[in-house]
């Protein structure tokens, strides 16, 4: 769900891939950590 909300970010071509990677890793880590906590 969190990644789907960022769909507009993934489709933009003027945003560097390194920034997209950083956002992706941050979202995945936070979702995984939240899942481990509950």
pLDDT tens sequence across 2-31: 778 889 988 999 999 999 999 989 988 888
Q: What whole-number distance in Å separates Cα of residue 4 and Cα of residue 12?
A: 14
Give the pLDDT score at 5.
85
Q: What whole-number distance in Å separates Cα of residue 23 and Cα of residue 15?
A: 11
pLDDT band at residue 37 using 50, 70 and 90 as cut-offs: low
Give the pLDDT score at 38.
59
Q: What whole-number distance in Å separates Cα of residue 26 and Cα of residue 28?
A: 6
Phi then psi for 12, rounded to 5 degrees? -75, 130
Strand residues in the chain grouped as ranges (E):
none
DSSP character at residue 6: T
Reported pTM: 0.68
DSSP character at residue 15: S
Give the pLDDT score at 36.
78
Give the pLDDT score at 29.
86
């Amino acid at each position: 769900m969190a990644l789907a909300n960022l769909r507009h970010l993934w489709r933009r071509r003027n945003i560097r891939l390194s920034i997209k990677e950083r956002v992706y890793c941050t979202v995945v880590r936070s979702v995984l950590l939240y899942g481990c906590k509950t």
